[in-house]
């Protein structure tokens, strides 16, 4: 037993080192003064806030639209279910620049859906709404799949008992299934927000401006080189680390309570 545990620990440590060494090296080699100056740069500050905000809007939309789909996939069998599941997973598999082009050809002002929204005063090209849309498309599978697995873990007998006691399907969903699936949904929402923050390919096609942090990092690297791109990358990594470590901690505390 001890040798098995030591072996697992060694493999885990190896993986953690492979994942974290590049990030640790980049952070450790950065000048704190340069980081402070970079954070004081209004363009950097605005870009990071825009990234966090747009990904949050995308996640909130994902919660509203993705949870019903996850419940449907978990509880009902119907023709074409595997195809629907494949469509949910598709954004993970295809290049995100291709997804950006696909979105542009639907939500661009010259196309049908985009034209209809433009008449209502809503544009997705070069706007915050477009950034959130692109983030939502590429990150939605993380929330839907996590919520689906959470609903699958809920014993259907509990829902049937609630129905025999007079609860309506709506009451069963909101008072039995959803609370029991809360932890999985929270975990999926955190992953969706994180994936949205890191998105580059779909965003740069649909909304190059205003610049989110990944686009700003690429633009500074292309224009000025590593010296000017690295501080922005380090700041984004540090902010994300603090935010998501805090979210995981709060989620764990809620689970203990």
Query: For residue 136, is it within any domain?
Result: yes
pLDDT tens by residue, the chain, 257 residues: 778 888 898 999 999 898 888 888 887 877 787 778 887 889 998 999 999 999 999 999 999 999 999 999 999 998 989 999 999 999 988 999 999 999 999 999 888 888 898 888 899 999 999 999 999 999 999 999 999 999 999 999 999 999 999 999 999 999 999 999 999 999 999 999 999 999 999 999 999 999 999 999 999 999 988 888 888 998 888 888 888 888 878 877 776 66
User: Is there a domain that residue 95 lies in?
Assistant: yes
The answer to whether residue 122 sits within a structural domain is: yes
* Residue 133 lies inside a defined structural domain of this protein: yes
Residue 86 covered by a domain: yes
Residue 242, domain member (yes or no): no
20 within a domain of the structure (yes/no):
no
Return the pLDDT at 185. 95
CA atoms within 13 A on the CB side of 235: 28
- Number of structural domains the chain divides into: 1
Task: Give the CATH number of the domain where residue 81 resides.
Answer: 1.10.3720.10
Structure-block tokens of residue 176: 């039995």
Query: What per-residue confidence (pLDDT) applies to 19?
Result: 85
The pLDDT of residue 109 is 85
> How many whole angstroms separate alpha carbon 9 and alpha carbon 17?
12
- Range(s) of the domain holding residue 102: 54-210
170 assigned to some structural domain: yes
């Amino acid at each position: 037993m001890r040798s098995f545990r030591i072996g697992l620990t060694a493999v885990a440590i190896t993986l953690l080192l492979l994942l974290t060494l590049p990030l640790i090296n980049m952070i450790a080699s950065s000048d704190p003064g340069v980081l402070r100056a970079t954070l004081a740069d209004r363009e950097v500050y605005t870009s990071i806030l825009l990234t966090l905000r747009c990904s949050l809007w995308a996640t909130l939309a994902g919660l509203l639209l993705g949870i019903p789909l996850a419940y449907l996939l978990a509880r009902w069998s119907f023709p074409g279910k595997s195809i629907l599941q494949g469509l949910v997973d598709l954004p993970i598999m295809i290049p995100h620049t291709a997804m950006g082009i696909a979105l542009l050809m639907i939500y661009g002002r010259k196309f049908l859906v985009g034209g209809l929204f433009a008449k209502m005063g809503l544009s997705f090209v070069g706007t915050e709404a477009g950034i959130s849309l692109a983030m939502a498309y590429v990150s939605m599978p993380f929330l839907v799949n996590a919520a689906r697995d959470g609903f699958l873990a809920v014993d259907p007998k509990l829902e049937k008992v609630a129905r025999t006691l007079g609860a309506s399907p709506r009451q069963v969903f909101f008072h039995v299934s959803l609370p029991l699936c809360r932890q999985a949904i929270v975990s999926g929402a955190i992953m969706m927000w994180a994936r949205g923050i890191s998105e580059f390919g779909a965003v740069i096609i649909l909304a190059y401006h205003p610049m989110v942090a990944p686009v700003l990092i690429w633009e500074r690297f292309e224009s000025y080189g590593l010296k000017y791109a690295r501080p922005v990358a380090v700041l984004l990594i540090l902010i994300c680390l603090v935010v998501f470590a805090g979210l995981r901690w709060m989620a764990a505390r809620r689970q203990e309570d």
